Structure 1
Amino acid sequence: MDNILEKLKEGSIIPFLGLGVFENTKTTEGHSLPHDSDSMILALNNGRAMSDRLMYEYSRAAMSLEQRKGREFIVQMTNHIYTSKTYELPKVYQWLKTIQPKYVIDTNMDDSLLKIYADVEHILITGISRITADYDRFVIYKFDVSAQTYKRIPKEELTLDLPILLKPMGSTQPEMNFIISDADFVDWLTEAMGGYAIPPILKDLRRNKEYLFMGVDFSRDTFRMVANELTLELKGGITLLNKDELTKKEEKFIKTHNLENLKMSVDEFIKEHE
């Protein structure tokens, strides 16, 4: 794909970030941050592996932990992973800071994306789940640069004048809302399929757009479904899957969504487009 930087700046190609962008990211103490499903499970379970059935996908493991130890435990553990230690921004966020696209989709749950927009006014939309008051599975905030604070706004006040940061799986900031366990994903995806995962204005914005999938694991059923719902009516795009052989499910997703896979790592891609 030609002119990627220009397309990112003008908004015709939208960055879509997954857990894999944390590969090679370490805390100041030298510990690795979760960068795939297995390492997320270990982080949630104090470094201990779980049964093969639960190790299949971190949402399944998180559901087991929630059932045994309670919802508050899994929320606090998720928050602990990203807030208890300091770590350098992964390269992809450093790179995006130089571009500051008008729309970014980030399925990670930390606040790295928020940090790179801390010097400009922007809109933050975080996912929520398992609520009964409304069908919408999102909360909208407007960022005040001078006060460095977020304020909730109703979806009717949302416009496209400011950069929009969509964190559909939640975030540590400004409020702890996480889509982490099976029950969370089932609820979120159910409402997403009904059209309640994003504000209506974004449904128009995403039409006929291309996507740059960075660090997204399409071998896992859950995130293929998440990506499918968030990119409806897409034009196509790029995936970065640096592996010798793709799974059948990965190949099918790439083909049906008119994507091109570049066999390179996220870091290699960034080096080519700095």
Structure 2
Amino acid sequence: MNTIPSSRHLVIVRDSFAEKLLELAKQALAADQVIPYLGPGLLRLSSAEPTVPFTSEAVAAALNTRMPAPSKIRTNMWSVAQFIEQRRHRRTLQTWMAEIFAAPAAPTVLHAWLATLPLSLIIDSWYDGAMRAALADAGRTDVVEMQGITRANEFGDIWTKTYDLSGNELESGSVAKTVLYTPHGSIRPAANFLVADSDYVEVLTEIDIQTPIPDAVKERRNDRGLFFFGCRFNDQMLRTYARQILKRSIGPHCTVMDAQTLTRNEARFLAASGITVIDMSASEAVARLVGARTAADGQDQLRGHL
């Protein structure tokens, strides 16, 4: 069976149906009709080991090497970060996160391909800065990045900061052809990280009424769907953010995932959000999107180009 609707209306497409939907997603991306929503799993496409962590559990482990947290929270990035902030101060947490993500993350072939498209909005939900680097490598001068920031060191009603690709901070509300939205922050250019539980207290209080989401993001999502790649939704924090960014987006929405690995909560979230699962390996999906025989071939092409 190629299309599998569940009792909760989760739609999973496979085989020829998956290939057709991915081709439609490719066309929609090229026509700026859908928004790429990128997750840390995208970093695994490279044949080389990623230079930075690509799961929240890996970040938690890296923080634990610097200051061991209690066993009951040891694998939870947000709780470990909160533990460190409470005992060693915010500056220490900021320094350690910057160390963990200091090594530049090389853009994948998918990052590079997306950087060539006339996209109005790209959402990057991880801290590595690879999408930003791909846009800079492509020579783009029509991009601004809007980063979520911690309010721990801020005064006033500030939720994001805006930068150009050279790292200059811009006035709030500055826009361009392409907006790169990094809702959890990013290592570059200023090491902004939403990572501790305390970072999210006010955000989660306000996000239901959309206050922390920049106006440019709200406007550009209204008449578009979202295409999720490299994302997992096995934590309530990740589901909450994605749900609120999806809000009022006209759709349709789809994600590339291995359906066999879906948790019950992920399946419920995807069904409730109307996100169709393209059951295909990430490497095959990237190869079909960028036109390479395999994702590794695409990476070789990218290295040759750079």
Q: In structure 2, what residue type is equivalent to 1:137?
A: W
**How does the TM-score come out when normalised to structure 2?**
0.77
CA contact (8 A) 1:216 1:223 kept: no
Gaps of 5+ in 1: none
- Structure-2 separation of matches of 1:138 and 1:103: 16
3-state DSSP class of the match of 1:244? helix
Corresponding residue number in structure 1 for 2:117: 99
Which of 159, 162, 166 is the aligned partner of 1:137?
159
Q: CA deviation at 1:270?
A: 0.4
Q: CA deviation at 1:183?
A: 0.9
- Residue by residue over 1:69-99, the C-alpha shift from the partner in whole angstroms, topping out at 9 and shown as x without a partner, is 221121111111221x344323432332343
3-state DSSP class of the match of 1:34? coil
- Structure-2 separation of matches of 1:44 and 1:36: 13
Corresponding residue number in structure 1 for 2:279: 263
- Residue by residue over 1:123-163, the C-alpha shift from the partner in whole angstroms, topping out at 9 and shown as x without a partner, is 110111225533341112244xxxx34231132xx34x421
Is 1:250–2:260 an aligned residue pair? no
Corresponding residue number in structure 1 for 2:293: none
Is 1:36–2:55 an aligned residue pair? yes
Q: How many percent identity over aligned positions?
A: 22
3-state DSSP class of the match of 1:3? helix
Greater mean deviation of Cα atoms: 45-54 or 226-235 = 45-54
- Structure-2 separation of matches of 1:170 and 1:164: 14
CA contact (8 A) 1:237 1:260 kept: yes
Which of 254, 261, 275 is the aligned partner of 1:238?
254
Counterpart mapping for 1:213-224 below 5 A: 213-224=228-239
Counterpart mapping for 1:1-274 below 5 A: 1=21, 2-23=23-44, 33-46=52-65, 50-83=69-102, 85-99=103-117, 101-118=119-136, 119-121=139-141, 122-130=143-151, 133-143=155-165, 148-155=166-173, 158-159=174-175, 161-234=176-249, 235-274=251-290
Q: CA deviation at 1:185?
A: 2.0
Count of residue pairs the alignment pairs up: 264
3-state DSSP class of the match of 1:45? helix
Q: In structure 1, what residue type is equivalent to 2:185?
A: G
- Structure-1 separation of matches of 2:88 and 2:46: 29
Q: CA deviation at 1:63?
A: 1.1
The structure-2 alpha-carbon separation of the partners of 1:129 and 1:245, relative to structure 1 and needing over 3 Å to count, comes to same
The structure-2 alpha-carbon separation of the partners of 1:239 and 1:208, relative to structure 1 and needing over 3 Å to count, comes to same
**How does the TM-score come out when normalised to structure 1?**
0.85
Q: CA deviation at 1:47?
A: 7.8
Q: In structure 2, what residue type is equivalent to 1:129?
A: T
3-state DSSP class of the match of 2:253? strand
CA contact (8 A) 1:102 1:162 kept: yes
- Residue by residue over 1:225-268, the C-alpha shift from the partner in whole angstroms, topping out at 9 and shown as x without a partner, is 01111121122311222141522211111111111112233222
The structure-2 alpha-carbon separation of the partners of 1:41 and 1:263, relative to structure 1 and needing over 3 Å to count, comes to same
CA contact (8 A) 1:26 1:88 kept: no
Q: CA deviation at 1:64?
A: 1.3
Q: CA deviation at 1:204?
A: 2.2
Greater mean deviation of Cα atoms: 224-233 or 235-244 = 235-244
Quick one: higher RCO (CA 8 Å, sep 6+), 1 or 2?
2
- Structure-2 separation of matches of 1:52 and 1:25: 32
Q: In structure 2, what residue type is equivalent to 1:141?
A: Y
Gaps of 5+ in 2: 1-20, 291-306
The structure-2 alpha-carbon separation of the partners of 1:43 and 1:94, relative to structure 1 and needing over 3 Å to count, comes to farther
CA contact (8 A) 2:61 2:74 kept: no
